[in-house]
Chain A
Amino acid sequence: MIWTGTPRTKGLARLFEARRLLSLILVGAFVWSLTGVGWKDGILHTGGGDAIKDFSLALFPPELSPGFLRLALAASWQTVVHAVAGITLAIIVGVPLGIIASGSLGNPGRTRLAVAVGVRFLLAFMRSIHELVWAVLFVAAFGLSSMAVVLAIAIPYAGILGRIYSELLNDVPEGPLDGLRSAGASPTEVLFYGRMPMVLTDLLSYSFYRFECAIRAAAIMSFVGIRGLGFEIQLSLSDLMFSEVWTLLLFLFGLVLLVDYWSTRVRRSLGS
């Protein structure tokens, strides 16, 4: 568009323009956003200051009674189960869609391109709606159930995974693929023997990251009423049991750390 000129045109003007323009836009946008806050109505609730203090102090120590810990563990299990179901469905759907969207399946030609573009639009639509919004819509349509939540996670995540998978497949260097082609491989064979093995590690690594995100997603599904860590946090918050809230937050933190650690160990074991 207007900013892309030939690289050496008016170097001075271009450097100043881009840098200064960017800084101006960023700072200006931030200041503009500040005007939207209702400063004069007071930021804190009445009693908000005390609430902050109470909440901060409740961390030392968090609620550690065995009964509550059992509850937290059960809630964590609920969350994990929904996250795992959601991510596995997302992978099952995302991999084929990603392959098609990458445009490497089948023989080159207009059909392949058209289908790829179509699938890309589908993936974009799937991921443009937040998982909680999907959940709210599904619950409104089908009523509250585990499947509604699992689908609500799986659909946008399949969209994200599909897009990343297709990009990974397309970023593969052509050299080894040319080798396969000259050995007589058809485009589909090139895909399965060439591209896929090369991207498997990156695929895995990103999927693990998405699994970590899915845990968070499953936690907030409490908003539509499904049990889990988010649900318990809401309960404890409304009871003003801040120490319990901290315990649950720490469980959530622990869960995420666990998945993160697992993912790092797997990547190391694969030698990347």
Chain B
Amino acid sequence: MSILRDTLERANDGISPAQPLVDGRSLSKSFGSLVALAPLDLAIGAGERVALAGPSGSGKSTLLYILAGLIQPDDGQLFLDSKPVTDLQPGRQLSESVGLIQQQLDLVAQLPVVQNVLAGRLGQWSLWRSLTSLFSARERNSALDALSRLGIADKIDEPTSQLSGGEQQRVAIARLMLQAPKITLADEPVSSLDPARADEILGLLSALATDTGGALIASLHSPDLIQAHFTRVIGLREGVIQFDIPARELTAPVLEALYDLDRDSQN
């Protein structure tokens, strides 16, 4: 893994960053009369690890879903890896560019762990392959590899519902590892975890995203975690970007102001 990192670092030296990996222009989204995202611009380059902060309802999830190509914005354009997102076919093309871990994990509880992990390959597999794999797992070794790097190789054949919350989180990450998208998105990946576990999970996610020259965008609240694992932090409130600063410049007052309950919500 470190050899890969070295290669990438050397490759990036002296080459000016071209198109950002994620290039969003004037993205906006409303649900009925509720404005989830006011028009906003976003540019994220390779190797960046961006934290999205903001109170509930600020539009973090909506933004992530739009970036994942799951929701269409009402207006604006989105380019992923220099391609317009509308050109990316859902399925193989989209899943190669961007992958999402949702807040409630959303693994299929009834399937054994190996099947949930291998689901990351569904974008690449033909229908026949996917169906036969349900009976006898194809590429079982890649699943085993990913799981052992996450420390839960012994759970590979267990029914997913029998794993603990933290273990299930790692299964979701393993799935993402097999999907190997350029851009990794995570919606509140550590909200329900204790600090030690949260630290571990964020470390895994960072490595996953940036070791291959990709990017990580995750929504979370804790300033300590943000500073420890992220390069940049964007604050959202009511669909509007309040600040976009390097992570090390994040201070407690800035974050508090973002979450302030008493602040006027109407401008």
Q: Do A and B interact directly, with beta carbons closer than 8 Å?
A: yes
A interface, CB within 8 angstroms of B:
7, 11-12, 15-16
Q: Which residues B107-129 have CB closer than 8 A to chain A?
A: 112
Interface size class of B (residues with CB under 8 A): under 10
B159 contacts A by Cβ under 8 Å: yes
Distance in Å from the Cβ of A147 to the closest Cβ of chain B?
50
| A residues less than 8 Å from B158 (CB atoms) | 11-12, 15
Task: Assess whether A7 is in contact with B162, with CB atoms less than 8 Å apart.
Answer: yes
Q: Which residues B21-58 have CB closer than 8 A to chain A?
A: none
| B residues less than 8 Å from A15 (CB atoms) | 112, 157-159
Q: Which residues B140-187 have CB closer than 8 A to chain A?
A: 155, 157-159, 162
| A residues less than 8 Å from B159 (CB atoms) | 11, 15
Residue of B nearest to A18 (CB): B159
| B residues less than 8 Å from A12 (CB atoms) | 157-158
Distance in Å from the Cβ of A266 to the closest Cβ of chain B?
32
Distance in Å from the Cβ of B112 to the closest Cβ of chain A?
6
Residue of A nearest to B157 (CB): A12
Instruction: List 13 interface pairs A-B (beta carbons < 8 Å), by A numbering.
Output: A7-B162, A11-B155, A11-B157, A11-B158, A11-B159, A11-B162, A12-B157, A12-B158, A15-B112, A15-B157, A15-B158, A15-B159, A16-B157
| B residues less than 8 Å from A16 (CB atoms) | 157
A-B contact number at CB 8 A: 13
| A residues less than 8 Å from B112 (CB atoms) | 15
**How far is B162's CA from A264's CA once the two chains are assembled, in angstroms?**
37
| A residues less than 8 Å from B162 (CB atoms) | 7, 11
| A residues less than 8 Å from B157 (CB atoms) | 11-12, 15-16
> Besides A11-B158, A12-B157, A15-B159, 5 other CB < 8 A contacts?
A7-B162, A11-B157, A11-B159, A12-B158, A16-B157
Distance in Å from the Cβ of B228 to the closest Cβ of chain A?
34
| A residues less than 8 Å from B155 (CB atoms) | 11
Of A7, A11, A12, A15, the most chain B CB neighbours within 10 A belong to: A11
Distance in Å from the Cβ of A118 to the closest Cβ of chain B?
40
Residue of A nearest to B110 (CB): A19
Distance in Å from the Cβ of B153 to the closest Cβ of chain A?
12
Distance in Å from the Cβ of B256 to the closest Cβ of chain A?
39
**How far is B159's CA from A15's CA once the two chains are assembled, in angstroms?**
7
Distance in Å from the Cβ of A26 to the closest Cβ of chain B?
15
**How far is B230's CA from A232's CA once the two chains are assembled, in angstroms?**
78
**How far is B162's CA from A12's CA once the two chains are assembled, in angstroms?**
12
Residue of A nearest to B159 (CB): A15
Residue of B nearest to A12 (CB): B157
Distance in Å from the Cβ of A109 to the closest Cβ of chain B?
40
**How far is B155's CA from A16's CA once the two chains are assembled, in angstroms?**
14
**How far is B146's CA from A120's CA once the two chains are assembled, in angstroms?**
54
**How far is B79's CA from A226's CA once the two chains are assembled, in angstroms?**
74
| B residues less than 8 Å from A7 (CB atoms) | 162
**How far is B155's CA from A15's CA once the two chains are assembled, in angstroms?**
12
Distance in Å from the Cβ of B188 to the closest Cβ of chain A?
29
**How far is B162's CA from A7's CA once the two chains are assembled, in angstroms?**
9
**How far is B159's CA from A124's CA once the two chains are assembled, in angstroms?**
36
Q: Which 5 A-B residue pairings sit nearest by Cβ, starting from the closest?
A: A12-B157, A11-B158, A15-B159, A15-B157, A15-B112
Residue of B nearest to A13 (CB): B157
**How far is B112's CA from A16's CA once the two chains are assembled, in angstroms?**
10
**How far is B154's CA from A12's CA once the two chains are assembled, in angstroms?**
9
**How far is B35's CA from A252's CA once the two chains are assembled, in angstroms?**
51
